[in-house]
Amino acid sequence: MKNIRAQFPILKQKINGQDLIYFDNAATSQKPQVVINAVSEFYSKYNSNIHRGLNPLVDQATQMYEEARISVAKFINAQSAAEIIFTRNTTESINLVAQSFGRKFLKAGDTVVLSICEHHSNIVPWLQLKEELNINLEFIDLNKSGELDLSEAEKLLNNKKVKLLSIQSASNTLGLTHDIDKLLDLAKKNNVVSLVDAAQSISHQQIDVQKLNCDFLVFSGHKMFGPTGIGVLYGKKDLLNKMPAWQGGGDMIGEVFLDHFTVNDLPHKFEAGTPNIVGAIGLKAAIDFIQDISWKEIKAQEVDLTKYLLTKLSKLDFIKIYGSTNLVNHLPVLAFNIKGVHAHDVADILGEKGIMIRAGQHCTQPLHDYLQIPATARVSLSIYNTKQEVDKLVEELQKIYIKFK
């Protein structure tokens, strides 16, 4: 695809007279015109509730929604579209697994293994179950290279009390990609059910759930150029069939009587109420957009840009970069601090110059506590960013250091 950047209308605007430089892609990506058009077209021509009623608008809206499900299934190579559950986001997908799978299959004394890098969304649902069911949580730490300690992971997963591994495929704070193949192999070897949080990697790396052989995989549409409010839970069909419905009403219903009810078949069993129809349709448009570019082009662009950013920042002696800087295992996401300057001040000043970054703990307070730092500044790149934008960032970081020196 030629001129990828031109596909994103928001990037044409100015902030305080400065060209908008958007380096907050780990929080949410910007939306290409084809996604905006898909959302607008649905509301302009096809808006209707799905699966309910016998009229042409219902039929068209239902077809578009289910085509989106098929598109997602193909995108991650699921065996069946019935294994794709639409949710609001990654957070809701993890909570669905915790509340349905967790409550049914976990009991007091069982252990769930996580990593120290996890997003709060992959910690709090399990802490809630810990309070409710008295399960245990164990966390894989980082090694001296700033990567997950696989030897520790092996020891933890060898424990027969471990019933679930719930792990992110890449850190939303440090940008490091975990050896997910190794971790999943260890889980399977020990008959441990696995959940992969792919929220950060979904727009950067091709994912094949059959090759991974994970039991669950979750992600959000808004981090891969799609709309907000649409997420995905992939689950193996046999596991999903064994899990109880989480919420009640709408399409999850089979039949309802005064003293009992039955549930619908997959995937509708887990989609209570009116879903985010247009979100699913926008997600399909985002998937089509990614596939039109090709994963090869995406990887080449992002690796080159990440290497450039790392090289530039590494030359600044007042910059501290956190985590591994090994490009082989890295997304275009970097967490750093300027010596003597709080991350919030860095983000605030850059924002005045039209450069959008993120500052704080990035929903990873336990990781920041582990690293013994209160906050970090985070730069996260995407396929529409440029080396010229990185140069502008470096120039402004130098000015900030001099100002606070």
- Separation CA 159–CA 166 (nearest Å): 15
Q: Which two tokens stand for residue 15?
A: 């902030």
Rg (CA), the chain: 22
117 part of the active site: no
Catalytic residue among 239, 316, 349, 363: 363
Residue that has been written with the tokens 């967790």 in this structure: 102
- Separation CA 75–CA 202 (nearest Å): 10
Picking from 231, 199, 244, the residue whose alpha carbon sits closest to that of residue 97 is 244
- 45-70 burial, b at 16+ Cβ within 10 Å, e below that, comes to ebebebbeeeeeebebbbebbeebbe
Q: Which two tokens stand for residue 376?
A: 């970090």
- Separation CA 293–CA 88 (nearest Å): 26
Distances (CA, A) of 367 to 48, 117, 146, 328, 359: 44, 5, 12, 22, 14
| Contacts of residue 338, Cβ cutoff 8 Å, sequence gap at least 6 | 318, 319, 346, 377, 397, 400, 401, 404
Catalytic amino acids? 363
